Amino acid sequence: MNETSSNSRGNYLHQPVFLEEAVDGLKICSGGTYVDATFGRGGHSVEILSRLGFDGKLIAIDKDPEAIEYAKALNDKRLFLHHGSFSELGNLLKSLKIEKVNGVLLDLGLSSPQIDSAGRGFSFQKTGPLDMRMNTSRGQTVYQWLMGATFLQIEKVLKDFGDEKLSSFIASELILRRDDQDCGASKQFPKTTSDLADLVFGVIDGKRKRHYYKTHPATKTFQALRIFINNEIEDLKDLLEQIPMIVSHSGRLSVISFHSLEHRLVKFSMRPQTAQSNNYSAHPKRLGFFSDKDTIKFPNCTIKEIKKIKPSRESIQENPRSRSALLRVGEIICAKQGKEWI
């Protein structure tokens, strides 16, 4: 293993957010079966393994092949690895002949190695290809998608997933540069992260006539394209739908979310009235994302929120990435039929 996943504080390649709090939330019992649905560089997994006995199990999932390679090097017999999306968890458990697990941990978003590697194309602060795929073994890169997308598709992605107010201007500039072969050298269609960041900066700076920005004007565009290209919202919704069916009664769900779309989806999954009304799409903010067919069904079990934690000032100073993080812990409550929890 080249990269360190040591559990001694400050020695992580990816410094985990809410390390102890999220694992405490799982209320680990030593022989239980748990899922780390977002392995990353294994900070939370290593902590879970340290609290499991020899007969415990941990299923670790990640879309990113590099994360899975890293996990293999942990070489722990209690660890089962899956390269793919956490939205496949229900089927994965079936294939492993596991009916229910005791807890699931989700630490959403990107790991530091993903952000820091220019070649992955996630950061506008480093020049790299316009890729942004978590799973580099499949799917379209951002560049490939932009080359085939319509104005309306680009505008909608920037608005829905980035809340970008100038989405239509950015989309028009992209279409203009792509379809107008006579664009000068300075107006080429963006091929790299820096090209795209410059394009967005130019559009926003031109419209706002403001020369001071708290965050880089391309932040929202990059966030939107990343969420879209990785199907992040749909994957999260799929998994949250499955949780009441695959986590046992009084089992736990710990979720660390980083932006408002994630925060809201997690909050809704843990609301008792959501289970009763069975309808995520009723919330106005969800309109446009989810249609009637997206109704979430919790047949006999619900997730009850038992804890919500924001990062302390000290932890933000120690790990600035935790600035926008929110930890929610939910307990799975199932109906009893005769003597059995169902």
Ligand X SMILES: C[S@@+](CC[C@H](N)C(=O)[O-])C[C@H]1O[C@@H](n2cnc3c(N)ncnc32)[C@H](O)[C@@H]1O
The yes or no reply on residue 235 touching ligand X (CB under 6 A) is yes
- The DSSP string of 7-54 is SSTT-BSS--SSHHHHHHHT---TT-EEEES--TTSHHHHHHHHHS-T
Q: Which is nearer to ligand X, 122 or 189 (CB)?
A: 122
* Selected binder of ligand X within 25, 26, 35, 85 (CB under 6 A): 85
Segment near ligand X (CB under 6 A); pick from 24-32, 63-71, 116-124, 286-294:
63-71
* Selected binder of ligand X within 34, 52, 56, 64 (CB under 6 A): 64
* Selected binder of ligand X within 44, 252, 263, 328 (CB under 6 A): 44
Strands (E), the chain: 33-36, 57-62, 79-83, 101-107, 247-257, 301-309, 326-334, 336-337, 340-341
The yes or no reply on residue 253 touching ligand X (CB under 6 A) is no
The yes or no reply on residue 203 touching ligand X (CB under 6 A) is no
CB of 65 to ligand X, least distance (A): 10
Query: How many residues are listed for the chain in this entry?
Result: 342
* Selected binder of ligand X within 62, 173, 241, 262 (CB under 6 A): 62
| Residue 111 one-letter amino acid | S
CB of 307 to ligand X, least distance (A): 18
Q: What is the sign, positive or negative, of the torsion defined by CA atoms of 71, 72, 74, 78?
A: positive
Q: Which residue's Cβ lies closest to ligand X?
A: 40
* Selected binder of ligand X within 18, 28, 34, 42 (CB under 6 A): 42
The yes or no reply on residue 43 touching ligand X (CB under 6 A) is yes
**Which of 149, 147, 150, 166 has its CA nearest to residue 158?**
166
Left (φ > 0), alpha (ψ -120 to 50) or beta: where does 304 sit?
beta
- Residue 205 structure tokens: 């700076």
Q: How far apart are CA 199 and CA 197, in angstroms?
A: 5
CB of 157 to ligand X, least distance (A): 17
Q: Using CB under 6 A, list all residues that contact ligand X.
A: 14, 16, 38, 40-44, 61-64, 67, 85-87, 107, 109-111, 134, 235
